[in-house]
Copies of this chain bind each other. A is one copy, B any other.
Amino acid sequence: MDGTRIGRRELERFCARVFESLGVPAEDALIAAGVLVAADARGIPSHGTARLGRYTAGLRSGLMKAAERETIVRESPVSLLVDARGALGAPVSSRAMSRVIEKAAASGIAFACVRDSNHYGIAGHYAMMALERDMIGLSMTNTAALGVPTFARQVMFGTNPLAFAAPADREKPFVLDMSTTVVTRGKIEVYERAGKPLPPGWAVDRDGRSASDARTLLRDMLSREGGGIVPLGGDTEEFGGHKGYGLAVMVDILTGALAGSAFGEAVRDTDASSARVSHCFAAMRIDLFRDAAEFRRDMDAMLQALRTAPKASGAERVYYAGLKEAEAEERAEREGIALSGKAIETLRLIGKDCGTEFP
């Protein structure tokens, strides 16, 4: 699907102009554009500019507050609670993580919750902000409820991603960025569009049995008739579905519950509102425990051993978390970001609506 390639900065400037045309302050527009395009660059198009239309719709309807500025509700040398007041998720999250990193630089560790926010893009982006400071970074968010507890048949939590980043020296950094459900809604939609049956073990239907029809699943799940995506590990305890379920709830506790905001099934997109979500961020200095340069050299040894591990019969490569994405990003910097003809047409139309020409 190598369509046209467009320069990363060009694409960022275009998205920023779109945001600005809808009343987003220039600084916030640049940040939000940067995070969206970073997803495309890192080969995660589901979280990239393909979402621009949802953002412009949210901003137009006023559900996402274009010009709202977050407030700090509670603060200590190691912690921060931010009220995003319905603003775009990326700018408030970027500033929250920056403050967390400054606090960690001074205190060693810091943790922040952000409440009443919106979609913040790829979780890994914020965790990675800690890397150049020789810190470990963490980021999580809850999402509209799409996940079903083990042995149940109703959505009770989101796809609740968690991201964790640790620096290496010559190796690409370790960046885990994963939803805690088996798959996300985007994957189900791909199967719907292709008219393909879902692999057994991705989702359950309104009776809690393995779901195969993507269209029926999406209809029933989004209307809360029943059914939904199952946690990492599947729909039984035999393969550890209860573990993915536990991870998803852990994320909900560290975001929605700790922030004093919505959690569980209360996090939902409705006609009246996009899902207001909560995030959390953490950073920790490596030199609390050992010399950071020594740690990075050990990380090189670990990551090199992983990617050069003996391959399974028929396998092409062994990766570690973040390696594929870093390679995609290098290519995007070099050659531009690949967008399909359809994606470009959509962006062009959004631009036209906003009085901004697509490059």
User: Residues of A at under 8 Å CB distance from B?
Assistant: 74, 76-79, 81, 107-111, 113, 136, 149-154, 156, 164, 166, 174, 176, 178-180, 182-183, 199, 201-202, 204, 207-209, 226, 232-235, 238-240, 242-247, 249-250, 252-254, 257-260, 263-265, 284, 286, 288-290, 294-295, 298-299, 302, 305-306, 309-321
Known: A204-B312, A208-B312, A313-B208. A289 touches B74 (CB 8 A): yes
Cα(A76)–Cα(B252), bound, Å: 30
Report A152 CB to chain B, min CB distance, Å. Answer: 4
Report A220 CB to chain B, min CB distance, Å. Answer: 13
* A232 with B243: CB separation less than 8 A: yes
* B108 with A78: CB separation less than 8 A: yes
Q: Which residues of chain B come closer than 8 Å to A111, judged between CB atoms? A: 109, 284, 288
* B302 with A153: CB separation less than 8 A: no
CB nearest to A81 among chain B residues: B289
Cα(A20)–Cα(B63), bound, Å: 65
Cα(A180)–Cα(B295), bound, Å: 23
Report A286 CB to chain B, min CB distance, Å. Answer: 7
* A150 with B318: CB separation less than 8 A: yes
Cα(A288)–Cα(B245), bound, Å: 26
Report A160 CB to chain B, min CB distance, Å. Answer: 12
* B257 with A295: CB separation less than 8 A: yes
CB nearest to A250 among chain B residues: B164
CB nearest to A252 among chain B residues: B302
| A149 CB contact (under 8 Å) in B76, B78, B306 | B306
| A305 CB contact (under 8 Å) in B178, B259, B265 | B265
* A305 with B151: CB separation less than 8 A: no
Q: Which residues of chain B come closer than 8 Å to A298, judged between CB atoms? A: 257, 260, 263
* B315 with A174: CB separation less than 8 A: no
| A232 CB contact (under 8 Å) in B77, B201, B233 | B233
Known: A149-B318, A151-B316. A76 touches B156 (CB 8 A): no
Report A340 CB to chain B, min CB distance, Å. Answer: 22
Q: Which residues of chain B come closer than 8 Å to A246, judged between CB atoms? A: 164, 176, 178, 320-321
Known: A151-B317, A240-B182. A174 touches B253 (CB 8 A): yes
Cα(A243)–Cα(B320), bound, Å: 10
* A107 with B78: CB separation less than 8 A: yes
Q: Which residues of chain B come closer than 8 Å to A180, judged between CB atoms? A: 243
A74, A109, A154, A209: residue with the most chain B Cβ atoms closer than 10 Å: A109
| A243 CB contact (under 8 Å) in B178, B309, B311, B313 | B178
* B209 with A247: CB separation less than 8 A: no
* B309 with A149: CB separation less than 8 A: yes
Q: Which residues of chain B come closer than 8 Å to A313, judged between CB atoms? A: 153, 207-209
Cα(A78)–Cα(B105), bound, Å: 12
Known: A232-B233, A232-B240, A253-B299. A310 touches B154 (CB 8 A): yes
Q: Which residues of chain B come closer than 8 Å to A74, judged between CB atoms? A: 288-290
Q: Which residues of chain B come closer than 8 Å to A207, judged between CB atoms? A: 312-313
Q: Which residues of chain B come closer than 8 Å to A156, judged between CB atoms? A: 305-306, 309
CB nearest to A263 among chain B residues: B302
Cα(A178)–Cα(B243), bound, Å: 6
- What 11 additional pairs, Cβ within 8 angstroms, besides A151-B318, A239-B239? A76-B108, A149-B318, A149-B320, A178-B247, A182-B239, A226-B310, A233-B233, A233-B244, A249-B320, A257-B302, A258-B290
